A = this chain, B = another copy of it.
Amino acid sequence: MGNIYYIVLVCCFFMCGPILSDYTYKIKYFDVLIDHFTFTNNATYKMRYLVNDSYWDPDNNAPIFFYTGNEGDITLFAQNTGFVWEIASEFRALIVFAEHRYYGTSMPFGNNSFSDIKQLGYLTSLQALSDYVDLISYLKYKHKHCPVIAFGGSYGGMLAAWMRMKYPRAITGSIASSAPIWQFTGLTPCGAFNRVLTSAFKLSSKKCAKNIRKSWDVINQITNTDDGKKWLSDSWRLCSPIKNQENITSLKNYLIDVYGNLAMVNYPYPSNFLAPLPANPVSEVCKELNKNVDGKQLLITLFKAVSIYFNYTGTATCLNTDLSYTDQLGIKGWNFQSCTEMVMPMCADGKNDMFEPYDWKINEVSDQCYKQFKVRPIVNAAVKLYNGKHIESASNIIFSNGLLDPWSSGGVLKNVSDKTIAILLPDSAHHLDLRSSNDADPVSVKEARNYYRDVISQWIHDPGRNI
């Protein structure tokens, strides 16, 4: 399970149904330095951003709502961060969605951006934040006192929070949803993510979590023989039959990813993230697994459960264990970030969680990273850069976390001060609060959104922020 550290901070914004007509934007490009922190070259690249100025009233102190794009195509975030669109007209805001370098079409070296470390090495969070600050300066050129509110979910939420911490001059306040800024060595135990993930499944059904925990041994036993490998490959309709230990590991990693994804997108209404899903998908999966089953029968039941994730529409002809995420997320870019500064330890003990026990060994991670990218992780990079738990001096940040969301394990769950607030959403999965309103939303999420409105209004009208 060595590649568990690649687990993607996915941004599960992808609603079913057509894009609402309000969510329209112009696609623009902004020339920005590839390297903000040395003077060894002054090359620039074209950063993509999306903008809607139909509501904006800059002469009356109306804000810019600035989405700090994360690890994927920015159009997906723009189409699926309904909250920002919904409140833009009442604030007369300019809406901007900025694309993170090395994702979508914002490729500093075009098709060669991932060629080798000489090109790829400029993919860092601080460089991306600096891109955003420059874009904001440009947008504020004519209205330099214009307040700017940052929004972000998941890794985008981390960026929104860090943006306010690092560049308070550029940003008046930040709504950082499901932002695991403390999912790093020394700040959060490596098993916390899987414990929260397991608790989300237990909440649906304790038996479900137990069956999943049991399943790892069964998979190991059955795939111990060639006949068993064939049986599992056929029963699970695998696109590529299991042939060796590596394939078995891949299959198990796929399952781990799927359980994580299900917990993240465990929304109370149907959504379409990596695949179409029903409302409350964890409950749906656990309905299948809420039985006393063992051996092959357990695996057959598990396949039915997993089918809800990869084949809810019934159109998949086989199960491809290489594809647990949409290709609209930049997995390769995130893998690189996980191998450099976003080194998030993950482990399991099989007791407090429903997984096969596995350690997180930095040496193994480092070797894999070197093999893939010719780079080795700097374990303390993010803590050094963003000050770990020493964020007492931060202000005007709201950290929200859904307690159904495994990433809440690395989030800010207590108020840091009266200016840096933690919001807990008991019935919410991964950044549900930033999505469009839905009748099925829990009351806590509806209330949180009203609170955000009030706070944003305070931030905008506090003259201390607009010096």
**Chain A interface (Cβ within 8 Å of chain B)?**
35-42, 117-118, 120-124, 126-127, 130, 133-134, 137, 166-170, 340, 375-376, 380, 383-384, 387-390, 392-395, 464, 467
Contact = CB atoms under 8 A, between A and B. Distances in A.
A464 B39 CA distance: 38
Contacts of A393: 168, 393-395
Interface centre among A42, A133, A375 (most CB of B within 10 A): A42
The 6 closest A-B pairs by CB, nearest first: A40-B121, A39-B121, A37-B37, A169-B390, A169-B387, A38-B121
A464 B118 contact: no
A38 B35 contact: yes
Contacts of A167: 384, 387
Given A380-B137, A464-B392, A37 B36 contact: yes
A380 B140 CA distance: 14
A182 to B, nearest CB: 12
Nearest to A390: B169
Nearest to A377: B39
Interface of A, secondary structure class, is loop
A123 B40 CA distance: 10
Contacts of A340: 39
28 contacts: A35-B38, A37-B37, A37-B126, A37-B127, A38-B121, A38-B122, A38-B127, A39-B117, A39-B120, A39-B122, A39-B124, A40-B121, A40-B122, A41-B117, A42-B375, A137-B380, A137-B384, A167-B384, A167-B387, A168-B387, A168-B393, A169-B387, A169-B390, A390-B467, A392-B395, A393-B393, A393-B394, A393-B395
Nearest to A35: B38
A167 B391 CA distance: 10
A262 B64 CA distance: 48
Contacts of A35: 37-38
Number of copies: 2
Nearest to A186: B144
Contacts of A133: 384
A40 B118 contact: yes
Contacts of A395: 392-393
Nearest to A383: B169
Contacts of A42: 375-376
Contact of A375 (B39, B166, B390): B39
A387 B390 CA distance: 19
A113 to B, nearest CB: 13
A46 to B, nearest CB: 19
A109 to B, nearest CB: 11
Nearest to A337: B39
A464 B390 CA distance: 10
Contacts of A38: 35, 37-38, 121-122, 124, 127
A41 B38 CA distance: 13
Nearest to A116: B40
Given A37-B126, A38-B38, A40-B121, 12 more contacts: A37-B38, A38-B122, A39-B120, A39-B122, A40-B117, A40-B122, A41-B117, A167-B387, A168-B387, A168-B392, A169-B383, A392-B395
Contacts of A121: 38-41
